[in-house]
Structure 1
Amino acid sequence: MTIQTQVQDLLDFIDASPSPWHAVATIEQRLQAQQFQRIQENDSWSLAAGGRYYVIRDASSIAAFVIGKRDLAETGFKILGAHTDSPGLRVKPQPLIDSDKLLRLAVEVYGGPILATFTDRDLSLAGRLAYLDSDGNIASRLLRFDQALLRLPNLAIHMNRGVNEDGLKLKKQSELPLLFSASAEQQLPADRFRQLLERSSGIAADRILGWELNVYDTQKGTLWGDEQLFYADSQLDNLASCHAGLSALLDKDSLNSGNTLVCAFFDHEEIGSESCKGAAGSFLPDVLERIANSLGNKPDDYRRALANSFMISADMAHAYQPNFPGAYESGHKVIVNHGPVIKLNVNHRYASECISEAMFMQICRQAEVPFQKYAHHGDLPCGSTIGPISSAKLGIRSVDVGSPMWAMHSLRESAGVLDHAYMIRALRGFFGNR
Structure 2
Amino acid sequence: MINVTSERSDDASHLNALARFVTDSPSSFHAARAVADRLVAAGFTELTATDPVPAEVGGYVSVRDGSVLAWRIPTVIDQPAFRIVGAHTDSPGFVLKPQPTSHVLGWQQAGMEVYGGPLPNSWLDREFGLAGRLVTTDGDTVLVATGPLLRIPQVAPHLDRSVHDKLVLDRQQHLHPIFAAGRPGADLLAVVSHAAGVEAAQLAGHDLCAFVTEPPARFGLDDELFASARLDNLASVYAGVAALAAADECGQVSVLACFDHEEVGSASATGASGPLLATLLDRLADVLGWSVQQAAAARSRSLLVSADAGHAVHPNYPQLHDPGHRPLPNAGPLIKFNANQRYATDAVGVAVWRRACAAAGVPTQNFVSNNAVPCGSTIGPLSATRLGIRTVDVGIPLLSMHSARELCGVRDPEWLAQGMRAFYAGA
Kindly indicate whether residue 157 of structure 2 is the aligned counterpart of residue 149 of structure 1. no
CA drift at 1:255? 4.4
In structure 2, the partner of 1:316 is 309
Equivalences for residues 67-86 of structure 1 within 5 A: 67-71=73-77, 74-86=79-91
CA distance in 1 between partners of 2:188 and 2:333 (Å): 44
Please state whether the residue corresponding to 1:157 is helix, strand or coil. Answer: coil
Letter in 2 for 1:142: L
In structure 2, the partner of 1:89 is 94
In structure 2, the partner of 1:326 is 319
Q: Deviations over 1:371-429 (max 9, x none)?
A: 11111111122100000000111110000001111000000100001111211111111
Equivalences for residues 216-295 of structure 1 within 5 A: 216-251=211-246, 254-295=247-288
Letter in 1 for 2:150: L
TM-score, with length taken from structure 1: 0.94
Letter in 2 for 1:163: V
Q: Is the 8 A contact 1:129 1:140 kept in 2?
A: yes
Q: Is the 8 A contact 1:98 1:183 kept in 2?
A: no
CA drift at 1:158? 1.8
Letter in 2 for 1:43: D
Kindly indicate whether residue 2 of structure 2 is the aligned counterpart of residue 9 of structure 1. no
CA distance in 2 between partners of 1:36 and 1:390 (Å): 25
Letter in 1 for 2:260: D
Letter in 2 for 1:70: V
Please state whether the residue corresponding to 2:271 is helix, strand or coil. Answer: coil
Partner of residue 70 from structure 2, selected from 64, 68, 76:
64
Q: Is the 8 A contact 2:110 2:188 kept in 1?
A: no
Q: Is the 8 A contact 1:66 1:255 kept in 2?
A: no
Partner of residue 33 from structure 1, selected from 41, 45, 60:
41
Kindly indicate whether residue 388 of structure 2 is the aligned counterpart of residue 395 of structure 1. yes
Partner of residue 383 from structure 1, selected from 345, 361, 376:
376
Letter in 2 for 1:246: V
What percentage of aligned pairs have identical amino acids? 37
Q: Deviations over 1:261-283 (max 9, x none)?
A: 00000000000000001000000
Divergent runs of 4+, >4 A: none
Question: Which blocks of at least 5 consecutive residues in structure 2 are unaligned?
Answer: 1-8
Question: Which blocks of at least 5 consecutive residues in structure 1 are unaligned?
Answer: none
Please state whether the residue corresponding to 1:415 is helix, strand or coil. Answer: strand
In structure 2, the partner of 1:106 is 111
CA drift at 1:75? 4.6
In structure 1, the partner of 2:62 is 55
In structure 1, the partner of 2:123 is 118
Q: Deviations over 1:83-119 (max 9, x none)?
A: 0000000110110111101111011000000000000
Q: Is the 8 A contact 2:218 2:224 kept in 1?
A: yes
In structure 2, the partner of 1:374 is 367
Partner of residue 190 from structure 2, selected from 189, 195, 202:
195
Q: Deviations over 1:238-276 (max 9, x none)?
A: 00000111111111xx14444310000000000000000
CA drift at 1:40? 2.3
Kindly indicate whether residue 198 of structure 2 is the aligned counterpart of residue 212 of structure 1. no
CA distance in 2 between partners of 1:364 and 1:44 (Å): 35
Partner of residue 289 from structure 2, selected from 296, 311, 314:
296
In structure 1, the partner of 2:349 is 356
CA distance in 1 between partners of 2:86 and 2:174 (Å): 36
Letter in 2 for 1:56: V
CA distance in 2 between partners of 1:391 and 1:90 (Å): 29
CA distance in 2 between partners of 1:43 and 1:27 (Å): 19
Q: Is the 8 A contact 2:273 2:383 kept in 1?
A: yes
Name the CA shift for 1:355/1:164 in 2 (closer, same or farther; >3 Å). Answer: farther
Please state whether the residue corresponding to 1:289 is helix, strand or coil. Answer: helix
Instruction: Tell me the matched-pair count.
Output: 419
CA distance in 2 between partners of 1:258 and 1:200 (Å): 47
Bigger CA drift: 387-396 or 151-160? 151-160
Please state whether the residue corresponding to 2:222 is helix, strand or coil. Answer: coil
Name the CA shift for 1:90/1:9 in 2 (closer, same or farther; >3 Å). Answer: same
Please state whether the residue corresponding to 2:149 is helix, strand or coil. Answer: coil
CA distance in 2 between partners of 1:89 and 1:419 (Å): 28
User: What is the CA RMSD across the aligned residues, in angstroms?
Assistant: 1.4
Name the CA shift for 1:308/1:372 in 2 (closer, same or farther; >3 Å). Answer: same
CA distance in 1 between partners of 2:365 and 2:301 (Å): 26
Please state whether the residue corresponding to 1:250 is helix, strand or coil. Answer: helix
Letter in 2 for 1:204: E
